[in-house]
């Protein structure tokens, strides 16, 4: 595995691959790799002749007061894990390489996709994501890029910009990887105290409750949201940021749950923000 | 010359060229080609193994009430002119090909570069330009793209986004091509009545007056702007939209004219909006 930190070098490598008609698969990450990332990397390894993983804690997608500074950084462990998965190139540029002082451009996915859910609670977050992804796609020129379902809204935003800007990159989503007790794998789980960690699986339990309600015919979003809220309220340290049911394609609200429904939750457990979601197909339901 | 109207087809052509290590030069236009475009096309012809000219009247860069509907469209004449210049591919997609119904992404160059001059009088214009250029660059994948000095602010905006989004495309600016009487060539000149056309060269005359003042040592922007205004006022049908002196790199205002100075003018002549500018190097001036 080759580790690349400059734009010049990643361009050279990618240009040579493309000339030799190699297809390129890409997994962009913030590092602190966990089993969720490894699932993406393994799928990407099968999906292209060459595989690039990027590790970049992108300052533009963290808001003021968020956890940019303390976000876990484990470059040596990440490199070891990536090499074991036969990653061809690990691209880990510095912030000054990606954002020189006169940098002044943003990629903005507009309207519904970025205004709701995490977009409402983290203003500027998806603009930061869209901007860095557009840059990385131009540098890596992948035919396929892989994202996890835990960040479902991010997947939709990236899919939108990849199509709209004619990047030629197909966006693939893979299911959320979970701990044995259901907690979605996340680099931020490392922040949890033992007590918070014990409480955290309630998020997925509440989502499974919602899924069960939909599967037995509940079509009223208020009922579903209320049941999720009730389950989360049982955790004394948990603060709900949002509980929502949405059209899975457009993130629009639904008066009657139908089609593929996204049930999404964001909570705070102490200082740690956790998100999770399930997709439920109720198109053939009662 | 091959004429291509679909995204699928332009991708196929470009991918083949790049595999064969051909360099690609690109001239994006709104069509209604004039001598200004032809100068760009001739320079581009020398600058790459393959040459793409795009013709796309981009609805996103026209504001409400602007001239999108009546903008001159002369596809047959454009194709004849491009073929005569040995253009390899003329890319002229329809609006629905570039902006399908669910399109929802914008590329935004922020702050100073887009807030002043034409950015102030045409809100959303440079966002439309930046968005379509980002798309076209992803489709055509040029090593070099060519723009005219008449749209100097556009050149700066495109240069900014090309660097910031890591397009790998060098942006080249060529001098404004003019009529014998000094009027900058523009597709919009076709709108002018004979009376307006007779009055139009005053814009360049006023700019040359400013240039002369700078060359003999005037460093006070107010004096320069006032002299330009006085010259333009002599034209009874001419309405000034802006007259400005700016730092040519940043478009910032200058208290004392120094370095490379942009003197830029926008006027309305009847229903027609005309812009023009000169760059004056006063770094070694008195």
- For chain B, give the secondary structure using H, E and C: CEEECCHHHHHHHHHHHHHCCCCEEEEEECCCCCHHHHHHHHHHHHHCCEEEEEECCCHHHCCCCCCCCCCCCCHHHHHHHHHHCCCCEEECCCHHHHCCCCCCEEEEECCHHHHCCHHHHCCCHHHHHHHHHHHHHHHHCCCEEEEEHHHHHHHHHHHHHHHHCCCCCEEEEECCCECCCCCECCHHHHHCCHHHHHHCCHHHHHHHHHHHHHHCCCCCHHHHHHHHHHHHHCCCCEEEEEEEEEECCCCCECCCCCCEEEEEEEEEECCEEEEEEEEEECCCCC
Top-level CATH class of A2-174?
A: alpha beta
pLDDT at B206: 98
Degrees to nearest 5, angle at CA A86 with A85 and A88: 130
Q: Which residue of B has its CA nearest to A140?
A: B166
Residues of chain B neighbouring A139 (CB-CB closer than 8 A):
166
Reported as a single tens digit per residue, the pLDDT across B121-165 is 999 999 999 999 999 999 999 999 999 999 999 999 999 999 999
- Partner-chain contact B105 A107, CB within 8 Å: yes
Q: What is the pLDDT of residues A24-82, one digit of tens each?
A: 999 999 999 999 999 999 999 999 999 999 999 999 999 999 999 999 999 999 999 99
Summarised one tens digit per residue, pLDDT across range B248-261 is 999 999 999 999 99
Distance from C-alpha of B275 to C-alpha of B154, rounded to nearest angstrom: 12
Identify the closest residue of chain A to B134 by CA–CA distance: A165
CA A90 to chain CA centroid, Å, is 19
> Sign of the C-alpha dihedral, residues A21, A26, A31, A33?
negative
Cβ–Cβ of B107/A109 closer than 8 Å? no
Which member of B11, B104, B138 has the closest CB to residue A109? B104
The single residue of B34, B37, B125, B247 carrying the catalytic annotation is: B37
Q: Which of A111, A134, A166 sits opposite B165 (nearest CB)?
A: A134
Give contacts of B165 with chain A, Cβ < 8 Å.
Answer: 105, 107, 134-135, 138
pLDDT at site A285 = 45
The highest-level CATH class for domain A187-281 is alpha beta
- Using CA of residue B251, residue B256, residue B261, residue B266, what is the dihedral sign? positive
A37 is catalytic: yes
Residues B179-219 have pLDDT tens digits of 999 999 999 999 999 999 999 999 999 999 999 999 999 99
Which residues of chain A neighbour B103 with C-beta distances below 8 Å?
Answer: 164
Contact B166 A135 (CB under 8 A): yes
The contact set of B with A (CB < 8 A) is 7, 11, 18-19, 21, 102-111, 113, 130, 134-135, 138-139, 160-161, 164-168
Interface test with chain A among B18, B102, B107, by most A beta carbons within 10 Å: B107
Phi, psi for residue A267 in degrees, rounded to 5: -135, 160
Least CB–CB distance from A107: residue in B7, B107, B167: B107
In a 13 Å sphere around the CA of B68, the CA atoms on its Cβ side amount to 14
What pLDDT, on a 0 to 100 scale, did the predictor assign at position B284? 61
What gap in Å lies between CA A24 and CA B38, rounded to an integer? 38
Q: Which residues have a Cβ under 8 Å from the Cβ of B38 and sit 6 or more positions away?
A: B81, B85
Length of chain A: 286
pLDDT beyond 90 at B110: no
Nearest to A105 by CA among A81, A127, A86: A127
- Contacts A111 to B, Cβ<8 Å: 104
CA B175/CA B184 separation, integer angstroms: 10
Q: In whole angstroms, what is the distance from residue A1 CA to residue B100 CA?
A: 40
Partners of A164 on chain B (C-beta within 8 Å) are 103-105, 135
- CB contacts, 8 Å: B166 with chain A: 7, 135, 138-139
Q: How far B75 CA sits from the closest chain A CA (Å)?
A: 24
Domain boundaries, chain A: 2-174, 187-281
């Amino acid at each position: 595995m080759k580790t690349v930190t400059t734009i010049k070098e990643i361009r050279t490598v990618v240009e040579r691959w493309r000339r030799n008609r190699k297809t390129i698969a890409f997994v962009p990450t913030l590092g602190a790799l966990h089993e969720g990332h490894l699932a993406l990397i393994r799928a990407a390894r099968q999906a292209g002749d060459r595989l690039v993983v990027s590790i970049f804690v992108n300052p533009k997608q963290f808001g003021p007061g968020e956890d940019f500074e303390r976000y876990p950084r484990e470059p040596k462990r990440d490199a070891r894990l990536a090499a074991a998965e036969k990653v061809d190139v690990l691209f880990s540029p510095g912030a000054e390489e990606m954002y020189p002082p006169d940098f002044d451009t943003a990629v903005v996915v507009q309207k519904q996709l970025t205004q709701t859910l995490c977009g409402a609670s983290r203003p500027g977050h998806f603009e930061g994501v869209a901007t860095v992804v557009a840059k990385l796609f131009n540098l890596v020129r992948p035919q396929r890029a892989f994202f996890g379902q835990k960040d479902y809204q991010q997947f939709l935003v990236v899919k939108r910009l990849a199509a709209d800007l004619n990047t030629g990159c197909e966006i693939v989503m893979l299911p959320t990887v979970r701990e044995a007790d259901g907690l979605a794998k996340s680099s931020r789980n490392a922040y949890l105290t033992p007590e918070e960690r014990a409480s955290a699986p309630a998020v997925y339990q509440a989502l499974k409750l919602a899924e069960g309600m939909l599967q037995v015919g509940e079509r009223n979003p208020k009922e579903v949201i209320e049941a999720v809220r009730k389950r989360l309220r049982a955790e004394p340290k948990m603060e709900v940021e949002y509980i929502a049911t949405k059209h899975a394609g457009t993130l629009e609200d639904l008066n009657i749950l139908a089609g593929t429904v996204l049930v999404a939750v964001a909570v705070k457990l102490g200082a740690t923000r956790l998100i999770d979601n399930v997709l439920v197909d109720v198109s053939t339901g009662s």
